[in-house]
Amino acid sequence: MSGLGATLLKIAAKFSLDVYFSSDARTRKLDLRELRRLRAKILVTAKAELEADQIRSGHKDLSDLPLAIEFSDTAQLPRKHRTEPVVTLSPLAIGITRSVIVDRVREDVNVAGAILHAEEELKEHPVPNSDKELDEDWLHAWRKGASEVASEKMQQLWGALLAAEVLRPGTQSRRTIEFLKSISGAEAQEIADLLRFAIDGTMVYSTPALDEHHWNYGRLLEMVGIGILSDCSGEVAAPITSRSTERFFTELRWHGGGLRITGSDPNHRFTMRVYSLTRIGRDLASLRRLKAPPDAYVKEVKALCSGQGLDVEQFVTLYPKD
């Protein structure tokens, strides 16, 4: 098993979710359908055990299995007394126990689903060189957030966040976790649609291609409002400089590829008018679930660079897969 796979199994065990996983790589490919079948089986078993306890304690019989909070028989009380409902504690305790079990199983299944998506993200990825341990507080904050999402799309997002933190411990902030807890699936899709335009995970080039793909000023302003963009004036000038002292060399990267830019003068520099990402935006832009930008956008970035008299070569990376 790879180091990353072992890390995910340790995380599952930390949350007492190793029942959903196997250390054997041949049997560890537990898909979400099987996970949901496990959840249903656990819920049915828990329900049957609770109802059996009700029958054994005499609070229910076979003709009265549905759980209800019982009240005392008030018909026998004298009319002069004020009638008050009296909660029978034993059935109430059983109801609370059932609710706790159902909620915990639901949460565990949601977290296990997110971990499975993290495993998908990390397949065939090299083991990171860092020996830094995952922060315990970050992990528990992640678990609390992931436990609240049942939709597969959102579980994919939470899994991608965990995968990014496993690869580079300490790079995903607690603030990003709190942000993900506050957004809907539709908002997450909107954010992902914008972040596919992110260059170097920090900025979005201000270009007519954005408007052509329905990213007008109004939508950009919404991204400022929820905390993904720091502004939408398009007036931030990002300097592009050489990474080499012998000749001009730099790369502009996005999901699925980028541009390799070269020239003879190492002192050459130019600027791009961009929208800057916030810390939360940068964290989310680093997730591997994002798609590559559209060709029209790439073409305009390429035109800007080649217009500086530089040689521009486009390259493609292996991810994202979808």
- Structure-model confidence comparison of residues 298 and 106, the more confident one: 298
Indicate whether 69 pLDDT > 50. Answer: no
pTM score above 0.85: no
Between residues 247 and 150, the one the model is more confident about? 247
Q: What pLDDT sits at residue 30? A: 47
Place of tokens 């560890």: 28
pLDDT at 276 over 90: yes
Higher pLDDT, 87 or 52: 52
Contacts 24+ apart (CB under 8 A), 139-143: 139/11, 139/14, 141/174, 141/177, 141/178, 142/177, 143/15, 143/111
What's the pLDDT tens digit per position in 225-242?
A: 999 999 887 678 999 999
Per-residue confidence band for 16, with pLDDT thresholds at 50, 70 and 90: low
Residue 91, pLDDT > 70, answer no
In what helix (H) or strand (E) does residue 314 lie, and over which residues does it extend? strand 311-316
More confident residue, 119 or 272: 272
* Per-residue burial over 123-134, b = 16 or more CB atoms within 10 Å of its CB, e = otherwise: eeeeeeeeeeeb
Which residues, 6 or more positions from 136, have their beta carbon under 8 angstroms from its beta carbon? none
When mean pLDDT is compared across 74-83, 157-166, 204-213, 238-247, the lowest value belongs to: 74-83
Q: 3-state SS string over 184-230?
A: CHHHHHHHHHHHCCEECCCEEECCHHHHHCCCCHHHHHHHHHHCCEC
Asked whether the predicted pLDDT for residue 65 surpasses 60, the reply is no
Give the model's confidence band at 59: pLDDT under 50 very low, under 70 low, under 90 confident, else very high: low
Residue 168 predicted with pLDDT over 90: no
**119 pLDDT tier (thresholds 50, 70, 90):** confident
Q: What is the pLDDT of residue 73?
A: 44
Those residues with Cβ within 8 angstroms of residue 245's Cβ, 6 or more apart along the chain or in another chain:
266
The CA angle 17-33-18, to the nearest 5 degrees, is 15
pLDDT exceeds 90 at position 297: yes
56-66 core/surface letters (b: 16 or more CB in 10 A; e: else): eeeebeeeeee
**What percent of the chain is modeled with pLDDT above 70?**
66
